[in-house]
Structure formats: C-alpha cells, structure tokens
Structure 1
Amino acid sequence: MALPERWDLEVDVAVLGSGASATTAAILAADNGVEVALLERADFVGGTTALSGGVLWLPNNHHMAEAGIEDSREDALAYLDSLSLGMMDRDLVETLVDTGPEMLRYMEENTPVSLHVFEGYPDYHPENPGGKPEGGRSLDNDLFPFEELGPWAERINHQPDAIFFPATMLEIDTKRVDDVPPEVMAERRARDMRSTGQALAGSLIKGCLDREIPVHTATRARELVLDDGDAVVGVRAERDGADYFVKARKAVVIASGGFEWNEELVKAFLRGPMTAPTSTPENEGDGLLMAMGAGAALGNMSEAWWIPGIHVPGDEMRGRTFARLILAERTWPRSIIVNRQGKRFMNEAANYNAVGHAFHTFDPNTFEFINLPAWLIVDSLYQPPIARHNVGPDAPDWIRRADTLAELAAQIDVDAAGLEATVTRFNEGVARGEDPEFQRGVSAYDSYNGDSLQKAPFTTLGPIETPPYYAAQIESGALGTKGGPKTNEKAQVLRATGGVIPGLYAVGNAMAGVTAMVYGGAGGTLGPGMTFGYIAGINAAREPDHIA
C-alpha cells in the first residue's frame, strides 16, 4: 500500500509476533543499536512457543561438548542431507548448522534464556548417517521464575487448563523430580518457576522488557507499506478497531507464525487434510498474506510440522477448538493405530512428524485418503492417559468401549474382520518380541516415549488381549505450518521476480522452512526459528534507512 498520511508509531525495526523467533529478532536488533517494537495480534504474548515443550534442536552446541557428547558440522549436515529428499536449500541448512551454536551462546550470555542437554533424547531419525541415538542436540529449558515478569506473568500465552509444574522436562522424564527435596519444590512454587515453552517464552519476554522494547498487544499487522521503490517502510495494523500505522525506517521482520488456523489457506496449500492444529489460534497466515501482497517468492507451502492429534470435546482457546498432540498414547505397549479397514499403516512409535505423513496416503481407486479417520486401539491393561483421560469405567464417552474387538469395530465404523486379524497378527509379533510389519521398537527413538520400566522393544510393544477394548479417534494435525516467503541466508525475503524485497525479513514458521520436510529432533522448530531470528535481528539493524 501507499504511504499513509500519518504514522502512529515510528521505529527502526518492527517485529511482527512475540514467540521465540520474534523476540530473538527484537533482542538482537536492539542490541545492535536500533529502536525496535513488537506487534502482537493476541492479548497474550509468547505465541505457540509458550504452548510448546520449549525444546531447541541445535547440532554441535556447547552444552553437548560440556557433557562429553561428540558432534560436528559434518555429522549434522550428513544427518540433514540423509533426510532432505532433495528439498532443502543447502545454503540455509549450512547457515543453520554454523550459526545455531553462536546464537545459543549469545542468548544464554545476554538474556535470561538458560538451557541444558536433554539427556538421552535421541534425534528423530537416530540411525541415519550423522544421527545421534544418545541425544545431545535437543536442549531442555532450565526453570524460569515468573515472579520476575511482574504483570506480564499473567500475559504469557497458555492453554486454559494448563498446569505449571515446577520441574524441567528432563527431571520429569528421568524421574529425578522424585528426588527433589520438598523445601526446594516449595521454593520453586513460591517463585512461580516454570519449565517447557513457558520458561522459554518467559525468559525471552524478560529479555525484551530488560531492553525496554515495547510490546504492543492486540495489534494485528495486516498490510506492508512500500515506498515508490518497493522497499518495505512500515506496516498497517489494526488496533482498537481502527488502522494503526507503524513506520519501520529500516525493516519489518515477519515472525507471526504459520497459517494452520486459516481453512482457506490450508486447503489451498497443504498437501492433504489437516484438521487438528495444536498451536495458538491466531496463526491464520497474516504474515504470509502480507508477504504475498509485497511480491514475495514462496517455498515449502505444502508442508507442516505434522502430528497425530485428538480433539477432546470442550477444549477451546479464545473461542476456537484446539487439538492435543498424541505422543505417549501411541508409543506405550498395548496400543496400535488403525484405519477404516482395521489395518495398521505405520510404526506408531515413530516421531510425530513422520507419523503425520502416513495420514496422507491416497487410494486412486476409491479416491480417498484411506488412513483417515484413524483410531487408537488399546486394551484394559493400557496404562497412560489418552489426552489426560484414563481408560476404564470412568472414561469419557468420546473414548469408545466394548467387550470385544468386533463390537468396538461396529461402534467406530471399522471393518471388524480386518481389526481382529490386525490385532492377532500384532500380538503374534509381540510374543516374538518384534513387529515385522513396521519394525516398531527397532529405532532408539521408538522407546523414548514408551514404558521406561521395560526393556526394548517391550518399551513400546505389548499385546492387545485383555477386554474391554477402547478406541479414540485420531486426526491429521500440525504443530504449525512451515511454508511461507522464501529467504536467503540473511533471512531477507526474496522477491518472486528475483532479488530481495528491501527491508523485509521472515523467520520461524512464517518463513519457508529451512529444513523442508524434515523434523531433525525435539526442538526442530524452535532451534531453526531462533537461529534465523538471531540472523534477522542483526541484519535488520544494519539496513539503511529506507524512509526518513
């Protein structure tokens, strides 16, 4: 759009969003001497980061070296290359591997961000060349005291039923939390110490507040303002029901998340059905639409951070029905996932992004996605809760129950003979300690989210034989989309007709995903997001003034 008659706010760099990518970009721009503001659409800050596990995947990081875990640039690139399928931009991948460790050191030395190795958490494809079965690339957050945020503590994004347990993910997963003295736990609660994405979002917001970077909430960026030379010089936002014009003398950084909550964009771009987003509901592709309006080249548009998701009746966030990630539920023994034919179609214990791809198998004869809907099938000895609800006589109605597999199949419109044959075949394999169909339990990753009291492969393999039987519907979901404007290694947005769009940057899930189809390991969204946020903040600050 043309220059407005007035500017309501004037800064050097305007950053759109308030998740990890956005706040990292804002911090680095401010640290490089320019005036910055964050524009956040929601009343809350932290975006999808605050809802997440908060883990960062960063190869060759210094915490690995301190823990005695070997890694190298060569191993990291070999690992990503082995998964690329020819879709990754090599320059961007090398930039991620080379700059990620630098970003991590900077953020830990200059902000409250503090992480540690997530011990034993393997890469998502650990047996591939360069993979790390023993872990080290995934980093867990140290606890962050929300008392330091003052009134902003109540404004960090969270699900309505969120429980903030004062222990790190590592402490919980390794049972070390049981050894934390009661007085230490009491102190943690008194200081409102939080882990996971709450810790990451909180520490990054604190970094912004320490620098007096203004955070404008309820300010939805809608359109980029371009000068006569097509350089980006500002943003038209909506605030209090009216236009709100922000001048950005040097640059605008789009960090407003993906488009997974925009049904039209999902249908237009994603390669298959996606009905279960788990991210913050404001992710409707605002940044994508703005970039398209400015003539940006697009990339990776068919891809998302795929997951199997589940809708629990009544789960709502700001008026939108959200889904929950299914992780341990499908990994524990005595569980399988089947389609309408009653057949398994994947290794249920594989990483959720890889599992998500399996939902999009298309049958050209019936002209349908044959693995949707899908159902999680378990028996009465199955232990973990399904989306926080246990099986048994008190299970909610949406978890179906029957005394026989045939009766269960009738309830969920699944072929009974197919389901019975599948369970028989699965149980026979379990008795031999194997899954000949899908090799469940073979990879080091398969066991991580299973029953740690068992030895592999029985961490994830167990018979389905004790009635009653239960079923819960599983949908194709996403943590977020990862298609958007294409960028170069400086995070500058590329123009569809060639060259860069002066003054425009994109990072996080708002940019064309650096790792294309790949999810390298836990934190594979946030590690690249913060790395390119770091890069964007530095380069945005170095831009010349495009408008006085």
Structure 2
Amino acid sequence: MTSCGVYMFAGSRRAREADVIVVGSGAAGLTAAILAHDHGANVAIVERSPYVGGTSAVSGGGIWIPTNSHMHEVGVADSRDEAFAYCKSLTMERVEHALLETFVDTAPTMIRYLEDKTDLRFTALSTPDYHPEVYGARGGGRSLEPVPFDARTLGDWQSRIRVPNALSFPVTLQEAFVTYQAFYRPWKVPQDLVVKRMANGLVTMGQALVAGLLKAVLDRRIPILLNSRANALLRDGGRIVGIRSVLNGQRVEMRARAVILASGGFEWNEDLKAKFLSGPIPAPNSPPINEGDGLLMAMEVGADLANLSEVWHYPSVAIPGETYEGREMVRGIKAERSGPHIIWVNGQGKRFVNEASSYNAVGKIFFSPDTSLPAYRNLPAWAIFDSQYRAKYVVGTTMPEDPDPEWLSKAETLEELANKVGIHPDGLADTVRRWNMFVAEGKDREFGKGDSAFDRFQGDHEASHPNLGTIERGPFYALPIQPGALGTKGGPRTDCRAQVLSVRGEPICGLYAAGNVAASIAGPAYFGVGGTLGPAMTWGYLAGLNAAKET
C-alpha cells in the first residue's frame, strides 16, 4: 500500500472486472476516468508503460479552452459564436460542425468541473491564438495552464509520473514565453526560483497537469494497472465488453460494460506511418510507447477512420547522442524558428516558409512534393544564421558562451558553408541577400515573417524587431532541421458523445475514444497553445460521462 492509501491493484479481481476500462493514462484518459467514476461507474485504468502521463506528461501542459472563465485575467473577453467561427475557418470544412460546436460548448464546462472536483487550478496565458488575424481569434486568454502543483501529495506515485524528455526545469509556460523568454535566454530564469520549487516538490507544465489529475484518480481509489498493454477489444455480438491485455508478461482478459481508448497516437509505429502519413517523421517528440495500439484495436472491430494523414507538427533538431527511453530524442525549437538573424532554407538555398508561423503550420511545408523529382521540395532543410544570432541566443542546448559543438556546421563565408553541408551556394547567397534587403525595409516581402501578432509574440521582445535581423557577420552557421511531431491526430471517428463510430456510421456500443488515438476534431488545424490537450480532455470528459451511463 502506498502512502496515498491506494493499491496499484495489479491482477486483483477489482481491476479485472470494472464497469468502465480506460486504456491510457494521459490527460484524456485520466479525465475520462474521473468523470466516469464521479457518475457512478466502477473504473479501472490500464497503462502499457511503468509510468503515468503519456504524452501529456512531457508536454507544455497548455490547454486551449475558448470562453473559459479565466480570460479576464489577461483582459480578454470571448464570444461563443466567434470561437466557433474561428474553429470552423481553421478546419476548412473537414470537420463536422456539430463536433466543433460540442467542443466549444463543452470545453469550459470541463475545466470548471476539474477545478471544482479536483485540486487542479488553472490560469490564463497571454499567448494569442495561432492565427490571430483570422475572424474569431483572440489575442490571448483562450490558452490555460495549470498552476504549479505539489507532487509530494502523490506519495509513492510521485515517482510514477513520466519524466519530461526536454522541458526539465519547473517554470510555467507564461514564465517561459513572456516573463523570462526562456526559449531565447534560459539563463534569465532565476535559479533561486527553480531551486525553491524543486525543494518544495512543485512541478509545472504537463507534469503539473498529470500530477493534479493523478491525485484526483488516487483520491477516488481508481485502480491503475501499470505495465499492462491492451492489444484487443472483447466483443459480445455487436457490443464491446472488455479488453485483452498483457500484464507483466501474462495475458489477461478484463471485462467491462464500456471501454474508453485514450492510448495516444501511432507516431512511433513505422508500418502505420508509412501507410497513412504524407511524409517522414523520423523521430517524434512524444514517448516511444505511442505505437498505435488503440488504433489497431479500433480497426479490428470495424471502426470508421478519419484524419489519418495529419500530425501535430513540431519542427525539431536532433542533437547526436541524446536519447529518451532508448530511442533518438529530438527537441522542438522556438528561438531557432522565430528569432531575428535566422532563416530556413532547403537544398536549393531557398526559403520556403514564414519561419515564425505556428510550428504546426511550418511543419506542413516540409512535405510539399517536388513536382519534377520523387522527393520532398523542402527536405532536407537547415536554419541559417550568423555570429549575431550565435552571440545572443541558445542553439539547441548550446549557450552563447559555449564552444561551437561538432554537430553545428560553421564556415567563414556563406559559399563555404553551403558547399560544406550540401546547399546550392548561389541560391543561398541570393536568398540571404534578399533577406537582408527585407530586414533593411522592415518587412519580409517574401513570406511575411513578423507580420502576424503571433509571430511577434514568439519573437525576441528585447530585439529592435522581434523577428527580423540581418545575416551578414561571419562566421555563418547551418543547423539541420527535421520534421517532428507531438503526435498523430487520426484514428477512429467519434460522435458528439465521444462514442466510436463504425464504418457504417453507427455507434459501436460500449466503445469510446479521446485524445490522439482518435480522429481529432481539429482536423488539419491547430487552434492555439494547448490545441492538442483542449479537445483531448474535452472528449475525455464526454467519454467518461457517457460511458458511465452504459452501467
């Protein structure tokens, strides 16, 4: 028995027989478990890894919630109709309007419920929506984050939360984005603040979100079976009546009246990626447990599928030798994308995107096909910058005062740099010349870097222009950029109750889905900071609520 007074219940009769089984322990799954329990169901959670939290635990923990009750904290008012219009515009008629309306109407209720019924508390971020010039967008407030949470309240379970892969010290998103601009100058984060929070057991971002949800699960004595990998759904006629899993190496059948799939995406499954994605994601930003278990289970019972070619794009850099759970680790980048004195080019030496756009929008451009060759036009790609950038900002994990690392290509001239890494030298020279001309004019006339309020928010607030700066002082540098992904966003279709639909469009009795395992209600879009977790937790809320009614 842990100090929280809860057993892990591995192999117990209570865990093997439940009204509702939740597959996965990320934010969507934990939210679903809480709601199902609170509405009368006996719930069990199965998690394939030794840790709780899934992708949510390694995320920034932002949650995009339109019309939430915290928006006044940053002086912003919202409109339900304008929030719906914004979502409708970004999804480009690829998502049923009823699903978008359900999200807009339910998301603020979900957040209020968690604040009323758990120890979690949220606060508004000042970050704008990712497309603030689109009708219905807001310049801040729709994105929430959990306030720092005392993980010591979890007792022995504190060590069972999945550790971050890159975001490792306890600052909030607001502090990272605005207060200290830590993505440009991490050394500005006060060390005494970090030390104090660590000494007091305070966690932030995705760690805080998962810790708060886990505390609520433990308070409700909901059993969690770790090291239990679900691999099949049990059926009785047309109804789902449980799961088959492998628990500590033993095959186990667990019976239930409803199953909620919340097991993450398929971005680490090479076979499924090759079948469904429109381009390569060599090393995702998520935990390597996301191999499409839930997708395969849903396919086996005839679930309809949608949005399978889409991912939550996140352009990244790979630092040689860095691994996470034995797999290559990549780091999502911000300063190397949005800051001044830096541009991105392809093999022809040409820019191909507004680098400061949202990471999801930028990531899509990697997969543009070359119409004359069987290749991607913008792969490989490099960030090109000069000594001005290098002297001011972090590059990957390298600080300005550090020696240049071996993995960062460097040359005294642009021509030498281009030849060194395999970029067309004349193309690069012309591109940099044009870029410097745009900087002198104060406007990027090619891709509009710096035009959007979101670009400027993401840029360096201390620079003369947050996004524009010349590239003219050697030495010059080339940093390889690769496609990354926070997760896939395609899978079984669900209805407004979070119930999985069959290929005939009928609900599959007893089966629900939430989070990256399911076809996202965002379709091709990314609404703002927390655009993954907002819909995921809202669908978790709906799944738990409606699955409990099955009992």
TM-score range, shorter chain: over 0.9
CA distance in 2, matches of 1:7, 1:175: 48
Residue 339 (1) aligns with residue 343 (2): no
Q: TM-score, normalised by structure 2?
A: 0.93
Q: Which residue does 1:245 correspond to in 2? A: 253
Residue number among 124, 127, 141 corresponding to 1:136 in the alignment: 141
CA distance in 2, matches of 1:36, 1:8: 8
Residue number among 85, 88, 92 corresponding to 1:78 in the alignment: 85
Q: Quickly say closer, same or farther: Cα 1:349–1:179, change in 2 above 3 A.
A: closer
Q: Quickly say closer, same or farther: Cα 1:405–1:66, change in 2 above 3 A.
A: closer
Give the SS at the match of 2:420.
helix
Superposed CA RMSD in Å reads: 2.0
Q: Quickly say closer, same or farther: Cα 1:263–1:173, change in 2 above 3 A.
A: same
4+ residue runs over 4 A deviation: 176-187
Residue 405 (1) aligns with residue 397 (2): no
Determine if contact 1:484/1:512 at 8 Å carries over to the other structure: yes
Q: Please state how far the C-alpha of 1:324 moved relative to its aligned partner.
A: 1.4
CA distance in 1, matches of 2:454, 2:519: 27
Can you list the C-alpha shifts for 1:111-132, whole angstroms capped at 9, x where unaligned? Answer: 122110102x010000000011
Counterparts of 1:89-488 in structure 2 under 5 Å?
A: 89-119=96-126, 121-132=127-138, 134-159=139-164, 163-165=168-170, 167-175=171-179, 187-227=196-236, 229-248=237-256, 250-382=257-389, 383-390=392-399, 394-454=403-463, 458-488=465-495
Q: Quickly say closer, same or farther: Cα 1:476–1:538, change in 2 above 3 A.
A: same
Give the SS at the match of 1:174.
helix
Q: Please state how far the C-alpha of 1:78 moved relative to its aligned partner.
A: 1.2
Determine if contact 1:481/1:509 at 8 Å carries over to the other structure: yes
Q: Which moved more, 1:153-162 or 1:209-218?
A: 153-162
Give the SS at the match of 1:397.
coil
Residue number among 505, 513, 526 corresponding to 2:520 in the alignment: 513
Q: Quickly say closer, same or farther: Cα 1:436–1:185, change in 2 above 3 A.
A: closer
Q: Please state how far the C-alpha of 1:384 moved relative to its aligned partner.
A: 2.2
Q: Which residue does 2:184 correspond to in 1? A: none
CA distance in 2, matches of 1:197, 1:237: 27
Give the SS at the match of 2:83.
helix
Q: Please state how far the C-alpha of 1:230 moved relative to its aligned partner.
A: 2.1
Determine if contact 1:39/1:216 at 8 Å carries over to the other structure: yes
Residue 12 (1) aligns with residue 16 (2): no
Can you list the C-alpha shifts for 1:170-203, whole angstroms capped at 9, x where unaligned? Answer: 1343327999999876653322101111110111
Give the SS at the match of 2:482.
strand
Q: Which moved more, 1:406-415 or 1:175-184?
A: 175-184
Q: Quickly say closer, same or farther: Cα 1:283–1:179, change in 2 above 3 A.
A: closer
Give the SS at the match of 1:261.
coil
CA distance in 2, matches of 1:381, 1:185: 29
Give the SS at the match of 2:483.
strand
Give 5+ residue unaligned stretches, structure 1.
1-5
Q: Please state how far the C-alpha of 1:69 moved relative to its aligned partner.
A: 1.4
Can you list the C-alpha shifts for 1:356-388, whole angstroms capped at 9, x where unaligned? Answer: 111111122112101001001111111322222
Letter of the 1:476 counterpart: P
Q: Which moved more, 1:187-196 or 1:55-64?
A: 187-196
Determine if contact 2:58/2:165 at 8 Å carries over to the other structure: no
Can you list the C-alpha shifts for 1:114-171, whole angstroms capped at 9, x where unaligned? Answer: 110102x010000000011x21101122000111111111111123565333x32213
Can you list the C-alpha shifts for 1:429-479, whole angstroms capped at 9, x where unaligned? Answer: 001101000011000000122111135xx1010001111111111111211
Letter of the 1:149 counterpart: L
Q: Please state how far the C-alpha of 1:394 moved relative to its aligned partner.
A: 1.3
Letter of the 1:398 counterpart: W
Q: Quickly say closer, same or farther: Cα 1:172–1:320, change in 2 above 3 A.
A: closer
Determine if contact 2:500/2:511 at 8 Å carries over to the other structure: yes
Give 5+ residue unaligned stretches, structure 2.
1-12, 182-186
Determine if contact 1:487/1:512 at 8 Å carries over to the other structure: yes
Q: Quickly say closer, same or farther: Cα 1:69–1:240, change in 2 above 3 A.
A: same
Can you list the C-alpha shifts for 1:89-120, whole angstroms capped at 9, x where unaligned? Answer: 1111000000000000000111122110102x
CA distance in 2, matches of 1:428, 1:539: 58
Q: Quickly say closer, same or farther: Cα 1:437–1:54, change in 2 above 3 A.
A: same
Give the SS at the match of 2:86.
helix
CA distance in 2, matches of 1:356, 1:182: 33
Q: Quickly say closer, same or farther: Cα 1:8–1:122, change in 2 above 3 A.
A: closer
Give the SS at the match of 2:70.
helix
CA distance in 1, matches of 2:431, 2:487: 32
Can you list the C-alpha shifts for 1:294-344, whole angstroms capped at 9, x where unaligned? Answer: 110001111011121221111211111122112221111110010000000
CA distance in 1, matches of 2:276, 2:339: 34
Q: Percent identity?
A: 47
Q: TM-score, normalised by structure 1?
A: 0.94
CA distance in 2, matches of 1:277, 1:330: 18
Give the SS at the match of 2:315.
strand
Determine if contact 1:251/1:503 at 8 Å carries over to the other structure: yes
CA distance in 1, matches of 2:141, 2:105: 17
Give the SS at the match of 2:461.
coil
Q: Quickly say closer, same or farther: Cα 1:438–1:171, change in 2 above 3 A.
A: same
Q: Which residue does 1:3 correspond to in 2? A: none
Give the SS at the match of 1:235.
strand
CA distance in 2, matches of 1:488, 1:536: 10
Q: Quickly say closer, same or farther: Cα 1:153–1:162, change in 2 above 3 A.
A: farther
